[in-house]
Structure 1
Amino acid sequence: MRIDGMDAIFAPRSVAVIGASSDPKRIGGRPVDFLRRHGFQGTILPINPKTSKVQGLTAYPSITEAPTAPDLAVIALPARLAVQAVEDCAARGVRGAVIFSSGFSEVNDEGAALQARMVDIARESGMRLVGPNCLGIANVRHNLYATFTPGVEKHLPKPGGVSIVSQSGAFGSYCMTLVRMRGLGVNLWATTGNSCDVDFADAVAYCAQDDETRVIMGYLEGATDRDRLVEALELARAREKPVVMMKVGRSAVGAEAAQSHTASLAGSDAVYDAAFRQYGVYRAHSVDEMFDVTYACAESASMMQGDRLGLVTVSGGVGVLMADEAEKLKLDVPALPDHAQKKLKAVLPFAGVRNPVDVTAQLVNQIDLLETNMDVLFGDGEIDGAIIFMSTVGLVADLNEAIRTGLERIREKYPGRPMLFCSLTEPEGRAAYEKSGFIVFEEPTRAVRAMAALRYFAKSFARAGEDDPIPELPDLSPLPDGMVNEIEAKALLAEAGIGIVREILAKTPEAAAEAAQEMGFPIVLKIASPDILHKSDIGGVALNLRSVEEVRSAGARILELASEKAPDARIDGLVVAEQAAPGLEAILGVTQDPAFGPVVMFGLGGVLVEALGDVSFRVAPFGPAEARRMIDEIHGRKLLDAFRGAPERDIDALADALARLSAFAAHHGAALETIDVNPLIIGPSGQGAVAADGVIIPTRRGGH
């Protein structure tokens, strides 16, 4: 990771403000004011050639005339002057700089050139840069506010475990303020702007390795470096730091706006979704969801280690509401065992005791019943986490003390099983629950979503140590410069260990008939052309041919149709292939994503994939275990199991083919434009999977 030198940014002992202003309301005045007023313990060096004092501090004409070389410089100057300031900082031995200035790559090519010059200067000297076009950084524990955001002018966040990384300065400021208003504590805060050096991934990695960070909240418009982003996310997962992400650019208009705003590539939104699942990031789709999940992760003593959710409620209707939401989020709300239900019925004769457990209004008369109920739920029901919905009971001060102490005893008895408390509360009541370590929600489905996030991260963290080796492919041929026909494409796939049907290339219908006679019937006959990708569209495929005459006749007809419907196509002849045994058809593909590079696609149903859009993606490369998770995501997953008389399919062979295709794609990298294996025939369990057709399109070079 590129986190070397970033301590100079987030933990400096001295800070220079270049372009410092005596007016604390101006951009150059705010960081001086914040550092001085909010208790930064290091040295503050205002740089301003027009005055000897800035806000009561000695000012210096330039960084070269400052008495010492600061660890960090904050640059608040116009773009061209900012470049000179970076050069002066490098000469002075400054180790890090935060650049507020705009007018760089987000504007035009001239600005991009100025930005590139700054990067060259910094790289030569080893200085790290944040920005330009950013709102700055903060380290709340160190009282370091190298920013001009109004969000910390009057009210400061308390120190805590939430670190925030945002490509957008304004949204980053909004997040820090909301975190404070929701009572959470902030650790590190970074807005990366144009990300000329320290980018989103570097900041996430720095937060991931920081011991004081419990959860990372991220706002991403577009990845600037795929490898660094993947490495940062893997580091966060290995350190068990949840990453809760708001990724914008889901719509075409949003993606275009994101690109113009940060001069970065937005990529395919479906691929971002897949990449986040692959690397254990929780993608939030609203600000409320983002903060709910961050809150739960920051305050929960543990993640949810299993899928079994217990629901306790004073309202039967809300119990159903929560159960519906849990099912949608793939949490199990299992019926309690008979003996557990009998125990509850003995103390709650009018309750619904199956799960959700409806304790009814009797709870108000016997508040200790809640503790009994939770004991049965966790002990006899073996529930992994619970949500307690108390409606307006949380507003009754004298009941809350008994509820809290009872839940505290349950937590001590069953550690590692998260409990979320859902009720309307007064501010002081909520604070008392949170001081006792309980997570409090007012709206029940938001509580369920937060619990699902705790389960999501538990599963993700468990995968960090998973043995899922990427297939090794040592003997791959280089891709040709130009287009290849089907036989050549499948030969390349066979090198990767992907099963293919037996086939040969015949130049004429007569040669095809002779080859079919030797191969044995039934036979499939197809046009062989690097220029005809969708053979069936021109009548270029004939199936189930069972005699020499049928092959000869079909071959002549296919060549005639190719000449008629694709007169400019190069024709290499006819593919004579054995007809694969009946099986379930799938499509495997590879495409180049602008943000993540080679990405593997999977779906069922051959051409139906295009009509239904039931596909999943993964960033290459990956191993068979990740391939299985990819397979499990599609809506048609049940078709791979024994279903309505059809046998269970060879999922091991399918997962192996996906993993091998991913390794093949990663090996060839940018030299590969597209792969289309359609169909892959998946046989019954233990009988493998074979590619019946394949297209490989190398990246066009030299006008090919």
Structure 2
Amino acid sequence: MTAQTTGITADTDAVLAGVRAEVRRRRPGGVGEGSARELLAPLGLPFVSAEEVDSADEAVAAARRSGFPVVLKAVSDAVLHKSDAGLVELDLGTAEAVREAHGRLVGRIAATGAADARVVVQPMVGAGTDLILGWVRDPAFGPVFVAGLGGVTVELFRDVARRIAPVTAAEAHGLLRSLTCWPLLAGFRGAPAVDTAEFCALVARVSALALAVPELAELDLNPVRISADGRCTVLDARAVIEQSAEVASRRSGFDLGALVRPGCVAVVGASRDASRPGGRVLAALREHGFAGHLHPVNPAGGEIAGLPAVSSLAELGHVPDLVCVALRAEASVEAVGECVRSGVPAVIVYASGFGEAGAAGKALDTRLLAEVAGSGTIVCGPNTIGVVSSHHRMAATFSQAVHGLPLRVSGTCLVAQSGAVAGSLVSRELADGYGIGDWVTVGNQLQLDVADYLEYYAGLETTRSVAVFLEGVPDGRRFRRALAAARERGVPVAVFKTGVTEAGSRAVSSHSGALAGSGEAYRAVLAQEGAVQVAEMTNLLEIAWTLGHTPRPAGRRVAVVTTSGGAGSATADLVEGAALVPAVFGERTRSRLAEVLPGFANVDNPLDVTAEGAFAEGVVRRVVELVAADDGVDLVCVVLTSITGPDAVRVARQIAEAADGGGKPVLVSWLVARSLAEDGMSVLAERGLRVFTEPARMVAAAAALASCPASTHPRSACA
């Protein structure tokens, strides 16, 4: 293969350094095709040939040298979208056509006022498929590489795939295969397949440029025409130059043991008023049975909530593992300073009014960071509702979400950037009979960020999956490393990402000062690192729990068993819509099902057990057993309708018994009001089966299970 297809072969670093030096000499701003060619010339990219001309006569002469037909363009750094401005003349087959096109371009150049515009003559390139490749530099993750269907309609069809650089040639091939337009390259309707090796090598070469030249904020090579024999020709290019802002990676490797598993907790700002944060934190710790030493700290001393209070940390006579600071922002900074001087290993700062509150709050951020700088003290928050561990019976939170609900041990952890959302989701999970092992709301991530908690929780033996409610991360590289660490440890991660639109990003910024980044960048990162992106907020914990507590299916073939034909067909539609495969029962399975079900029942997938079958003793259990045992079934989705009261308990037990012996995942959606079948739903929860109120949410969880990479298979098939 030539250098054109394999990349730079001679002194790659020197070539890239030369390109960077040239870019640095340029003024920031947009760069059109002509300047982009000059900047990228050392890379030897396969640009279409171009000859600059100053007159119509020169244009005709250049066309004759190139060979008709030709293209005339006006290239300018001031006009990046030439087609929109009428600065491209295509398929000019005669000298007269070239003269007339040159005259039109000169007039249009004058109308645009682009003083730097130059007219160039290029040969018409033969037929092929037009692709785009390039990148946009995300503030959190760096270059987000894009490859896909190109040309003037690229923004209309949006058939592109994204990956965070670097991108290898093999990975580029995977990007192409994921496109809707892939059949055009693979051989559509009898056409020969296109050899994409040269294009994939080009992607790898340009990817190296993205990493080596951070001053190039954006680059589009569009279109890159790939011909039937695989040859690539770059027909147009543009770039954006910005001053690079290298972001230093945040400190990592914090030991969160004292924060998550403390033996001794002090509550600074403990209050006799149970409605105040200090009163709520103390009450939550007591309500949920924290077994360690608990010390209220209040200047008045005395007794609070039946516990002896001290007037200061110094009065304790020993150093607590965790100090919960329930004071206003200004006073919280002073309290953290006292903790640092006392050698306290972990502090939670609940107060808002820090960086999310404007200039005055940012000044408090600076002071708080200065207090902990160089110390052994870690800080959760500020602007957090706290940390909870069901394994440790520790609820260091002022959230009302856990009041009156038992902490249930679970292998699921939650890391959230919204305290209100986290509390709401957790309350639903606990009320439905499922649990959260450990959870934290990260607040403003002043010191500890999402990545720190994710990596720590994934390393605990009690963790089977992690759910993340994500607004943004301050350090994209750290976040990627944390996701990778979870994947390597066999802990699946489910993420609900907010702030993926322009309006959503503005809301994130005003809410917690988070760096939202772009939705596309986060989608690419999550896909690359094997995390599951969840579409519905209230489905986050359901999917995370399912990933951690349910056997992983061997494939994507789904059987639907239901007590309603209508619900079954609706669920079957959802299965196909989620890129799952409706299972086809074998003849032996069909025959045995016919023996169990009433004679009028249809034994195809979706399978309606009928009302008669649903209320007959043992029929539901036997049907689920037979379906799960079929070699053509990987996963069973059960949809229950109006089965209530004692019947609900009976059917739930049958499903649980069938699932226990099958070894294949069984998910359940129960459509009736919870109050009418709560005892049955509780039976399933206690037996380790997930119950969904909506079939679409069940199917989303099934798709997540089927898509979970092998390396992120739960540590144990079932909890």
Q: Residues 257 and 377 (structure 1 numbering): CA distance in 2 closer, same or farther, change over 3 Å?
A: same
Gaps (5+ residues) in structure 2? 1-250
Counterparts in 2 of 1:285 and 1:56: CA distance versus 1, 3 Å: same
**TM-score (norm. length: structure 2):** 0.59
Using the size of structure 1 for normalisation, the TM-score is: 0.60
Note the aligned Cα RMSD (angstroms): 2.8
Is contact 1:422–1:447 with CA below 8 Å preserved after alignment?
Answer: no
Residues 452 and 47 of structure 1: is their aligned pair in 2 closer, same or farther, counting only changes over 3 Å?
Answer: same
Name the counterpart of 2:266.
16
Contact 1:321–1:445 under 8 Å retained in 2: no
Alignment partner for residue 212 of structure 1, among 416, 441, 462?
462
CA drift at 1:180: 1.6
Q: Deviations over 1:217-269 (max 9, x none)?
A: 22111112112211222222233333222221133222111012221211111
Task: Give secondary structure in 1 for the equivalent of 2:444.
Answer: coil
Which segment is superposed worse, 26-35 or 182-191? Answer: 26-35
| 1:19 positional shift | 2.4
Which of 568, 577, 586 is the matching residue for 1:328?
A: 577
How far off is 1:131 after superposition?
0.7
Question: How far 1:70 sits from its partner (Å)?
Answer: 1.0
The answer to whether the 8 A contact 2:585-2:605 is kept is: yes
1:130 correspondence with 2:377: no
Alignment partners' CA distance in 1, 2:504 and 2:511: 10
Alpha-carbon distance between aligned partners in 2 of 1:17 and 1:4, rounded to the nearest angstrom: 22
Matches of 2:609 and 2:397, distance apart in 1: 51
Residue aligning to 1:90: 340
User: Which has the higher mean CA deviation after the structures are superposed, 319-328 or 342-351?
Assistant: 342-351
Following TM superposition, by how much is the alpha carbon of 1:365 offset from its aligned partner in structure 2, in angstroms? 6.7
SS in 2 for 1:159: coil
Q: Which of 656, 659, 674 does residue 411 from structure 1 map onto? A: 659
Counterpart of 1:445 in structure 2 is 696
User: Displacement, 1:10?
Assistant: 1.0
Cα distance, 1:43 vs structure 2 = 2.1
Deviation of the 1:384 alpha carbon: 0.8
1:343–1:55 CA distance, 2 compared to 1 (3 A): closer
| Partner Cα separation in structure 2 for residue 240 and residue 446 of structure 1 | 24
- Number of the residue aligned with 2:392: 142
Q: Tell me which residue corresponds to 2:554.
A: 305
Q: Secondary structure at the match of 2:571?
A: helix
Amino acid paired to 2:294: I
- Following superposition, the deviation at residue 151 of structure 1 comes to 2.5
Q: Distance between the aligned counterparts of 2:615 and 2:320, measured in 1?
A: 65
What is the Cα deviation at residue 95 of structure 1?
A: 0.4
Distance 1:87 1:396 in 2: 58
Q: Is the 8 A contact 1:76 1:82 kept in 2?
A: yes
Counterpart residue type for residue 262 of structure 1: S
The corresponding residue for 1:262 is: 512
Q: Distance in 1 between matches of 2:311 and 2:692?
A: 54
Change (3 A) 1:65 1:344: closer
Mapping for residues 601-616 of structure 1, pairs under 5 Å: none
Pairing 1:27–2:277 present: yes
Cα 1:166/1:419, change in 2 over 3 Å: closer
How far is 1:64 from its partner? 3.0
Distance 1:159 1:438, change over 3 A: closer
SS of structure 1 residue aligned to 2:391: helix
Q: Does the C-alpha gap of structure 1 residues 406 and 85 become closer, same or farther in structure 2, counting only changes over 3 Å?
A: closer
For the residues of structure 2 that align with 1:412 and 1:20, how far apart are their CA atoms?
48
1:376-434 deviation digits (Å, cap 9, x = unpaired): 43334431111233432x32635853x45654554354314435364646111222233
1:234 equivalent to 2:234? Answer no
Shift of 1:128: 0.7
Q: Which residue of 1 aligns with 2:606?
A: 356
| CA–CA distance in structure 1, aligned partners of residues 624 and 279 of structure 2 | 56
Aligned to 1:472: none
**1:387 match:** 637
Does the CA contact (< 8 Å) of 1:340 and 1:381 recur in 2?
no
Q: Distance in 2 between matches of 1:430 and 1:13?
A: 36
The 8 Å contact of residues 350 and 360 in structure 1, kept in 2 or not, is answered as no
Q: Which letter does structure 2 place at the counterpart of 1:45? A: H
Q: Which residue of 1 aligns with 2:682?
A: 431
CA distance in 1, matches of 2:358, 2:648: 63
1: distance between equivalents of 2:313 and 2:657?
A: 59
In structure 2, the CA distance between the partners of 1:140 and 1:344, relative to structure 1 (3 Å rule), is: closer
Q: Distance in 2 between matches of 1:364 and 1:417?
A: 21
CA–CA separation in structure 2 for the residues paired with 1:359 and 1:32: 52
Q: Give % identity.
A: 31
Q: Which residue of 1 aligns with 2:706?
A: 455
Please say if residues 222 and 259 of structure 1, whose CA atoms lie closer than 8 Å, have aligned partners that are also in contact.
Answer: no
Instruction: Tell me the CA shift for residue 67 of structure 1.
Output: 1.0
For 2:567, the equivalent position in structure 1 comes to: 318
Task: Tell me the CA shift for residue 304 of structure 1.
Answer: 2.2
CA contact (8 A) 1:367 1:399 kept: no
Q: How does 1:25-64 map to 2 (within 5 A)?
A: 25-64=275-314
CA distance in 2, matches of 1:450, 1:159: 21
- CA distance in 2 between counterparts of 1:29 and 1:366 reads 54
Summarize deviations over 1:596-649 as a string: whole Å, max 9, x none. xxxxxxxxxxxxxxxxxxxxxxxxxxxxxxxxxxxxxxxxxxxxxxxxxxxxxx
Alignment: residue pair count? 461
Shift of 1:8: 0.8
The equivalent of 2:501 in structure 1 is 251
CA–CA distance in 2 between the matches of 1:358 and 1:143? Answer: 44
Q: Distance in 2 between matches of 1:376 and 1:237?
A: 34
Partner SS for 2:262: coil
SS state at 2:291 partner: coil
Q: 1:61 to 1:439 in 2, by over 3 A?
A: closer
Instruction: Assess if the C-alpha contact under 8 Å between 2:563 and 2:614 holds in 1.
Output: no
Letter in structure 2 aligned against 1:91: R
1:522 aligned partner: none
Does residue 201 (structure 1) correspond to residue 439 (structure 2)? The answer is no
Change (3 A) 1:79 1:318: closer
- Residue 168 of structure 1 is matched in structure 2 by 418
Helix, strand or coil at the partner of 1:118: helix
CA distance in 2, matches of 1:459, 1:330: 18
CA contact (8 A) 2:653 2:684 kept: no
* Structure 2 residue identity aligned to 1:287: M
CA–CA separation in structure 2 for the residues paired with 1:361 and 1:30:
50
Moved more, 58-67 or 251-260: 58-67
Question: What residue is the counterpart of 2:428 in the other structure?
Answer: 178
The aligned residue for residue 277 of structure 1 is: 527
Residues 160 and 62 (structure 1), Cα distance of their counterparts in 2 relative to 1, 3 Å cut:
same
Deviation at 1:129, TM superposition (A): 0.5
Asked whether the equivalents of residues 490 and 714 of structure 2 are also in contact (C-alpha less than 8 Å), the reply is: no
8 Å CA contact retained: 2:302, 2:309: yes
Moved more, 442-451 or 204-213: 442-451
Does the aligned pair in 1 maintain the 2:648–2:677 contact within 8 Å?
Answer: no
SS in 2 for 1:233: helix
